[in-house]
Amino acid sequence: MASFLGIDLSKETFHACLLSDRGAAKKVFPNSLKGFEQLVAWLRNRQAVDVHICMEATGAYWEALALYLHGIEHRVSVVNPARIKAFAQSELLRTKTDAVDAALIARFCKSQSPESWLPPPPEIRVLQAFMRHYEHLKTTRVQQSIYEQSSEASIVKAFIRQVIVTLEEQIAQVEREIRQHFDDHPDLKRKRDLLTSIPGIGETTAGSLLGEIPHLDRFESAKAVAAFAGLSPRHRRSGTSIHGRPRLCKTGNSRLRKALYMPAIVALRFNPVLKIFADRLAAAGKHKRLIIGAVMRKLLVLAYGILRSGVAFDANYA
């Protein structure tokens, strides 16, 4: 009989709940290689075979364990936390602890049979780490620049200026490392060049797309890609009394939405296909924020189509 293992992770530990024909079993392990090995031994001692393991994609705490379990050929699912939250609401669950969450995830796994997680190739994981660190450095530089402008003490301004100079040096170094990483992986570089053929998408955005959606060209449809990024429209209409304006659902990868915002602004001016699309929405009386969201979604759909076809962007294709 198949077994189902729910795992709730935190920085130091993770709670595991096993559902099998022998009933439910729970245990806490350290979130480290030693803890991973203890988990495997625990499953073996409980004679758990054909185990379907499920965890939430929360922060970065899950990645090492998911990679370890996948590497020893366990079936692993990594799901959006919103799905677990909705499942808890369907059960009218009122208590929230790590142990309760682990049991909830196990029941979700047994009931919903989520799709198996496919780890990104090593070069994609390195690219993702580069791009996230690069964005963090740029965000920190902006924050420090604001502190410098608002500070009145000259000595403090000098200290902040030193921090900014160091950040700028690191940003330049990471940019060089990212370019070298693409040069070292021709297939990754080919995909980047395909994406940058789209007016509005530069090298930074292309790197973020390839890092955050490692299997972008393998999605079943453009609709699925938009849903992954949280760029699907959410409609609120019911009967004659509820007529809410459509909004982005935002149930997806927030880094992707952040990465696509400024490219969408640029595409409104320089991408002929998306400019016509945006003008049509504006003529229909759509709000500016809705138009930007729609252009973000169109950019992602274009990226998906270009990677699937292997053909660079052509404004006259239609």
Cα(2)–Cα(298) distance, integer angstroms: 42
pLDDT given at position 133? 95
Q: Cβ contacts of residue 226 below 8 Å, gap of 6+?
A: 232, 297, 300, 301
* pLDDT category of residue 21 using cuts at 50, 70 and 90: confident
pLDDT band at 59 (very low <50, low <70, confident <90, very high): confident
CA separation for the pair 21, 273 (Å, rounded): 57
Q: How much is the pLDDT for 95?
A: 87
pLDDT band at residue 252 using 50, 70 and 90 as cut-offs? confident
Q: Which residue's structure tokens are 């992770």?
A: 9
pLDDT band at 242 (very low <50, low <70, confident <90, very high): low
Mean pLDDT of 51-63: 91
Predicted local distance difference test score (pLDDT) of residue 253:
83
Q: Rounded to two decimals, what is the model's pTM?
A: 0.84
d(CA 310, CA 190): 9
Q: What are the pLDDT digits (tens) for 180-231?
A: 999 999 999 999 999 999 999 999 999 999 999 887 777 888 888 888 888 8
Per-residue confidence band for 107, with pLDDT thresholds at 50, 70 and 90: very high
Domains of the chain in sequence order: 3-112 (3.30.420.40), 122-184 (1.20.58), 210-309 (no CATH)
Instruction: Identify the top-confidence range among 26-30, 153-157, 218-222.
Output: 26-30
pLDDT for 244 equals 58
* Residue 82 pLDDT level (bands cut at 50, 70, 90): confident
Which contiguous run of DSSP H or E holds residue 279? helix 272-283
> What does the pLDDT look like over 66-78, one tens digit per residue?
999 999 999 999 9
Provide the b/e sequence for 92-115 (b: ≥16 CB within 10 Å): eeeeeeeebbbbbbbbbbbeeebe
What pLDDT sits at residue 58?
82
Does the pLDDT at position 45 exceed 80?
yes
pLDDT band at 155 (very low <50, low <70, confident <90, very high): confident
Residue 289 pLDDT grade (very low, low, confident, very high; cuts 50, 70, 90): confident
Cα separation, 137 vs 94, whole angstroms: 40
- Provide mean pLDDT across the span 89-103: 92
Cα angle for residues 11, 14, 16 (degrees, 5° grid): 165
Q: Is residue 132 packed enough to be buried (19+ CB in 10 Å), middle (13-18) or exposed (0-12)?
A: middle
Give Cα separations from 103 to 48, 136, 142, 232 (angstroms).
16, 35, 42, 30
**In which band, very low, low, confident or very high, does the pLDDT at 60 lie, cut at 50, 70 and 90?**
confident
Upper half-sphere CA count for residue 180 (Cβ side, 13 Å): 7
